[in-house]
Amino acid sequence: MSPVTLHGRFRARLGTTPRGRLTERRITLACRMMEHGEERLDVVARAGGPGTTTNPRTRLRRRTGLTPGGYRRRSTPTR
């Protein structure tokens, strides 16, 4: 199967490209890690793929409208 055919079929079934799906999964993982107490964005970035903090920071802000610190504050229960 050619890459063009793969992308077309992938998009038809899932509504996104393989790269878009992978990015979404990485951001979901980053959110879960932060919700469960991971403070360091470099640890989150390494666990979710390419290890720079720029990508998760940018993608998280695009998805949630929050910085990583803002996301942590929002998702941490008050005690």
Instruction: Please indicate, yes or no, if residue 12 is contained in any of the structural domains.
Output: no
Return the closest-CA partner of residue 34 out of 79, 75, 65, 67: 75
Domain that holds residue 60: 19-75
Longest dimension (CA), the chain: 54
Helix crossing, 18-35 with 68-75: angle to 10°? 50
Instruction: Please indicate, yes or no, if residue 3 is contained in any of the structural domains.
Output: no
Q: What is the pLDDT of residue 10?
A: 93
The pTM (predicted TM-score) of the whole model is 0.70
Q: What is the pLDDT of residue 35?
A: 85
CATH at 60? 1.10.10
Number of domains comprising the chain: 1
Distance of CA 25 to the CA centre of its chain: 6
Instruction: Please indicate, yes or no, if residue 60 is contained in any of the structural domains.
Output: yes
Q: What is the pLDDT of residue 70?
A: 87
pLDDT per residue of the chain (79 residues) written in tens, 0 to 9: 899 999 999 999 999 999 889 888 888 888 888 888 877 877 877 777 665 667 778 888 888 898 888 888 887 665 4
Distance of CA 35 to the CA centre of its chain: 13
